[in-house]
Amino acid sequence: MEELELKYGCNPNQKPAKVFVKDGQLPFKVLNGKPGYINLLDAMNSWQLVQELKEATGLPAAASFKHVSPAGAAVSAPLSETLQKVYFVEGIELSPIATAYIRARGADRMSSYGDFVALSDECDAQTASFLAREVSDGIIAPSYSDEALKILKTKRKGTYLVLQMDSSYKPAALEQKEVFGITFEQQRNDIKITEDCLTDIPTKNKNMTPEAKRDLLIALITLKYTQSNSVCYAKDGQAIGIGAGQQSRVHCTRLAGNKADVWHLRQHPKVLALPFKDDVRRPDRDNSIDVYISEEWEDLLNTDEWKRIFTEKPEPLTREEKAAWLKTIKGVSVGSDAFFPFGDNVERARKSGVDFIAQSGGSIRDDNVIETADKYNIAMAFTHIRLFHH
CA distance 108 to 169: 30
pTM assigned to the model: 0.95
Catalytic: 192?
A: no
Active-site residue, from 54, 66, 235, 322: 66
What is the CATH T-level fold of the domain 175-265+326-382, as seen in this structure?
Cytidine Deaminase; domain 2 (3.40.140)
Catalytic: 251?
A: no
Catalytic: 390?
A: yes
Active-site residue, from 67, 85, 270, 351: 67
Q: Which amino acid is at 171?
A: P
Q: What confidence tens digit (pLDDT) does each residue in 31-71 have? A: 999 999 999 999 999 999 999 999 999 999 999 999 999 99
Helix locations, the chain, DSSP H: 37-57, 81-86, 96-106, 125-132, 146-152, 210-224, 249-265, 269-272, 282-293, 297-301, 305-309, 319-327, 344-350, 366-375
pLDDT of 302 strictly over 80: no
CA distance 116 to 113: 9
Active-site residue, from 32, 39, 45, 229: 229
**What average pLDDT does range 325-352 have in this prediction?**
96
Q: Are 234 and 219 in contact (CB under 8 A)?
A: yes
CATH of segment(s) 2-170: 3.40.140.20
CA distance 274 to 338: 40
Q: What is each CA distance from 187 to 26, 48, 191, 297, in whole angstroms? A: 20, 16, 10, 49
Is residue 357 within a helix (H) or strand (E), and if so which, with residue range?
strand 354-359
In the structure, what pLDDT confidence band is assigned to residue 74 with cuts at 50, 70 and 90?
A: very high
Catalytic: 229?
A: yes
